[in-house]
């Protein structure tokens, strides 16, 4: 399995996902700003991976704060946290990870700054390692929803590359394969940045899991022809009623799945829930550069000067979601109840 991100002595190395599958190239981030840029420009992407990168980026940034005074350190660190939070708006894992790092600083107010810096680096490593364990649990929990011989449609990339490792939606697929189930995966290209054909197909081929790529618009036809048994995708943010933000195109797959009586599953860690949000309409949707739509790899796809809309995510209303697979349990509708039960015990 290809690693996503790691500490490399004093710096952070991440696989530059813009270059995959053509080149496996490590991008070295030497400053907080390098990490923020890598997230914005999607050298690293996927909600849990963004969270891991944010925590490491803040640990890296904290090393550059040159004071022994806690109050000054805290003020500088908060400014870094503010900048990090604004890198990408939709995936709530980013905010979750930043808040975890802030808690370390708050809890260590009586410690020496040097010790706080050490604790921040340790915390970021824990977030990374814990993310991999969480995904393996999601995989184990989701196994029972995957029948033998199933053809599974997935969208975008919710794999090892989108997380600390193993993957969420792809983690369930991986676990089913490891359990000896004979499964076949169909992945759509996922325009405009092609995370499906570039990254998901790449991961599945590396794991020897049978995969075929389709264009985004072929999904409805294949569902109607009964060539897809279930859909499983990841999530960037899940509101308290189960409405789910994920890569643009997820909503239309969910509607098509319902129309064709095909189960539609979300696989996501508890850190992807935003229990304070009443519904999906309140989830901020990132609008990206229209140039991502009108050109690819520097080549213009349409007439010169053509404009484009480029929402990067959409919201799938809860009524289209058959179940949400988390590391703790499989949530079933009505989600208002199952999500508040999930957070009734322990939110963090």
Q: Which stretches of the chain bind ligand MRU, using CB under 6 A?
A: 45-48, 91, 156, 158, 162-163, 168, 195, 233-236, 246-247, 312
Task: Provide the minimum distance between the beta carbon of 221 and ligand MRU in the complex, in angstroms, as a whole number.
Answer: 23
Task: Provide the minimum distance between the beta carbon of 100 and ligand MRU in the complex, in angstroms, as a whole number.
Answer: 18
- Distances from the Cα of 330 to the Cαs of 58, 165, 207, 326, 344, in angstroms? 32, 21, 25, 6, 16
Beta bridge partners of 196: none
* Of 241, 237, 247, nearest in space to 200 by CA: 247
Length of the chain: 348
Tokens 């519904």 correspond to 279
Task: Provide the minimum distance between the beta carbon of 197 and ligand MRU in the complex, in angstroms, as a whole number.
Answer: 13
Backbone angles phi, psi at 227, to 5 degrees: -100, 5
Of the two residues 108 and 230, which places its CB atom closer to ligand MRU in the complex? 230
Contact call for residues 188 and 215 (beta carbons, < 8 A): yes
Question: Does 8 qualify as catalytic in the annotation?
Answer: no
Task: Provide the minimum distance between the beta carbon of 94 and ligand MRU in the complex, in angstroms, as a whole number.
Answer: 10
Q: Which residue is nearest to ligand MRU (CB)?
A: 234
Task: Provide the minimum distance between the beta carbon of 347 and ligand MRU in the complex, in angstroms, as a whole number.
Answer: 20
- Distances from the Cα of 124 to the Cαs of 81, 230, 244, in angstroms? 14, 35, 26
Q: Give Dmax over CA atoms of the chain in angstroms.
A: 66
* Of 311, 308, 313, 314, nearest in space to 288 by CA: 311
Of the two residues 88 and 100, which places its CB atom closer to ligand MRU in the complex? 88
Of the two residues 108 and 231, which places its CB atom closer to ligand MRU in the complex? 231
Catalytic residue, candidates 131, 236, 243, 314:
236
Contacts for 135 with CB less than 8 Å, ≥ 6 apart: 48, 163, 164, 165, 166, 167, 168, 171, 269, 327
* Residues classed as catalytic: 236
């Amino acid at each position: 399995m290809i690693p996503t991100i790691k500490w490399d002595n004093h710096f952070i190395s991440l696989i530059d996902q813009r270059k995959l599958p053509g080149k496996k190239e490590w991008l070295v981030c030497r400053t907080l700003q390098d990490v923020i840029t890598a997230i914005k420009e999607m050298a690293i992407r996927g909600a849990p991976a963004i969270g891991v990168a944010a925590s490491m980026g803040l640990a890296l940034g904290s090393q550059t704060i040159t004071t022994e005074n806690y109050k000054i350190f805290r003020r500088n660190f908060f400014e870094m946290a503010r900048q990090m939070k604004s890198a990408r708006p939709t995936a709530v894992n980013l905010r979750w990870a930043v808040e975890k790092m802030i808690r370390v600083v708050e809890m260590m107010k009586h410690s020496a700054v040097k010790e706080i810096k050490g604790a921040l680096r340790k915390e970021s490593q824990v977030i990374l390692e814990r993310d991999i364990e969480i995904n393996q649990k999601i995989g184990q929990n989701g196994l029972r929803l995957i029948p033998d011989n199933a053809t599974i449609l997935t969208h975008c990339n919710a794999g090892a590359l989108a997380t600390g490792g193993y993957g969420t939606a792809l983690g369930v697929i991986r676990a089913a394969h490891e359990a000896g189930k004979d499964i076949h995966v169909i992945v759509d290209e996922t325009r405009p940045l092609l995370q499906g054909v570039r990254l998901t197909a790449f991961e599945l081929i590396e794991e020897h899991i049978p995969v075929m790529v389709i264009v985004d618009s072929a999904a409805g036809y294949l569902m109607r022809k009964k060539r897809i048994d279930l859909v499983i995708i990841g999530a960037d943010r899940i509101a308290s009623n189960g409405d789910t933000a994920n890569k643009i195109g997820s909503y239309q797959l969910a509607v098509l799945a319902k129309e064709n009586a095909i189960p539609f599953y979300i696989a996501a860690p508890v850190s992807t829930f935003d229990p304070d949000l009443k519904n999906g309409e309140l989830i901020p949707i990132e609008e990206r550069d229209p140039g991502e739509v009108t050109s690819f790899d520097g080549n213009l796809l349409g007439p010169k000067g053509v404009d484009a809309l480029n929402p990067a995510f959409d919201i799938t209303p809860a009524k289209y979601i058959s179940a949400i697979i988390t590391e703790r349990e499989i949530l079933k509708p009505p989600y208002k109840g199952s999500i508040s039960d999930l957070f009734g015990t322990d939110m963090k």
